[in-house]
Amino acid sequence: MITTRYWTSSAALWLATAAALWAVPAHAQPAPEFEAALRGAADDATVTGLEAEADENAWLADSALEGIPGPPVRSRIIEDEDPYAALGIRLGSLLLYPSIEGYLGHSSNVYSETIDPMSGGYYRVVPDLVLESDWSRHFLRGRISADHESFFDHPGETTTAFDAEIETRVDVTSKDLLGFRAAYSITPESRGDPNVPQAVVNPPDSELAEIEASYSHRFGRVEMAIRGGIARSSYDDAVLVDGTVVDNSDRNYREYAGALRTSVDMDEGRRAVFVEVGANRRKYDRRFDDNGIERGSRGYDVLIGVAFEQGEPLSGEVGIGYQNQIQDNPGLPDIRGLMIRGSLVWQPTALTTVTLDGSILPEEATLDPTASGARVYTVDLGVRHALRRNLIVSAGAGYSESQYIGSDRVERDYVVTAGLEYLVSRWLSFKLKASHSRYDSNVPGEDYDETRVEAGMRLQR
């Protein structure tokens, strides 16, 4: 079990890394002929611990209510020197980017079993549609995507994930920005999730709907931003093989969240330090869960960090602070302590992209009647490198640990991934991917691991 001392050391490592990278000269890298060839780096470089494959194809953030997003970067027409970039379909001042991916793969553990796992082959189809503005002012982007997976020799073992999002920014003045975002997603729960009964016919879906708005104003080198949003998480009922229906409505809840951030420009827009104060309220549809435990909480957090502007060799942000999630039920312990939230993208050359993501955040959980929730620790590292302009290799590793507050329960997830992409033209590319994941729990009978290998192709316009 990872101790508080370990995570405090990790926090120090985060800040030391940021400080060291602060000293890196913030000038654009040469070799523009390769820079455009890596047009997929922003989509594929980040490898998240438990959803590495989904994150490669999904545009939604893991949680849109965790911070105030910076203004989206205005879209650009792809420059002609990139012979492998999608051109899109022009619709007036908008650009439409359709694509579809298809894969054939093999899993070593179809049902996430601890003993005598069953293997099987499957196919995946991933359609995707992106719409972007090409305006001198303001910004608009929308996306709709799906991920359908079905096993050949295991009838009924079929899942479909769905994501939809729209984001807009209004440039009220040169110093005032208004932002709006709405998103909806459907994610099938894993058979290995401890919330999913082992005898379920097909894993149930979870749904997430989000709406948020933001406003920012700049005073010289100082920028102040405020945002607020609502998110609703809901879970479908589970149907067992004997026909029994397991009600999951006690897991459904809404979160109301807001934050105020003050940033100070330290280097002509390339780097800034910030202080962010946030608050939230989480209310369950049912005040008492199936175990008769009252659920719900309210919380606050304070975060101090450094932000690096997108487009530089180093971009993203990293922050450290304190959080406290106070439970409505006085019999349950509060979730309080160190908070870390960071996401960095480093491009030391035009050929290589390195991503690092990490966080320590509280999450809701009704799995254990003695636990108020879980503190979730995650760290993910991804590397993407172009061997040639049209041959790209990638690798990643991720770790996640959930410590249930008020209970001895601990869950750990590990994942390693590797990939190879061959770009044939603007419209066609081939992909080869492999991953190995492992789930460990101190509850007997829940551990399992899985290895996946898949090959496929991507068509885009």
CA distances from 26 to 21, 23, 30, 307, 430 (A): 10, 8, 13, 13, 34
User: What's the alpha-carbon Rg for the chain, to the nearest Å?
Assistant: 22
Helices (H), 135-201: none
Residues ≥6 apart with Cβ < 8 Å to 343: 46, 316, 317, 318, 355, 356, 357
Q: Let me know how many helices (H) and strands (E) the chain has, helices first.
A: 4, 21
The closest alpha carbon to 458, from 85, 91, 163, 107, belongs to 85
Contacts 24+ apart (CB under 8 A), 217-221: 217/175, 217/176, 217/177, 218/175, 218/176, 219/175, 221/264, 221/265
pLDDT tens digits, the chain, 461 residues: what are they?
A: 344 434 444 444 444 444 443 443 333 333 333 333 333 333 333 333 333 343 443 333 333 344 444 444 444 444 447 889 999 999 999 999 999 999 999 999 999 999 999 999 999 999 999 999 999 999 999 999 999 999 999 988 999 999 999 999 999 999 999 999 999 999 999 988 999 988 888 889 999 999 999 999 999 999 999 999 999 999 999 999 888 999 999 999 999 999 999 999 988 778 899 999 999 999 999 999 999 999 999 999 999 999 998 667 899 999 999 999 999 999 999 999 999 999 999 999 989 999 999 999 999 999 999 999 999 999 999 999 999 999 999 999 999 999 999 999 999 999 999 999 999 999 999 999 999 999 999 998 899 999 999 999 999 99
pLDDT at 237: 94
Residues ≥6 apart with Cβ < 8 Å to 458: 99, 100, 101, 428, 429, 430, 431
pLDDT at 326: 97
Spatial contact of 111 and 117, defined as CB atoms under 8 Å apart: yes
Phi then psi dihedrals of residue 251, to 5 deg: -95, -10
- Tokens 């047009």, residue located: 39
Number of domains in the chain: 1
pLDDT at 310: 66
Spatial contact of 431 and 458, defined as CB atoms under 8 Å apart: yes
CATH of the domain at 76: 2.40.170
Q: Which residues pair with 233 in a beta bridge?
A: 208, 253
| Structure tokens belonging to residue 265 | 């420009």
The closest alpha carbon to 236, from 217, 249, 227, 225, belongs to 249
Phi then psi dihedrals of residue 34, to 5 deg: -95, -25
Cα first-last separation, the chain: 48
Q: Which domain holds residue 318?
A: 4-460
Classified as helix, coil or strand, 51 is coil
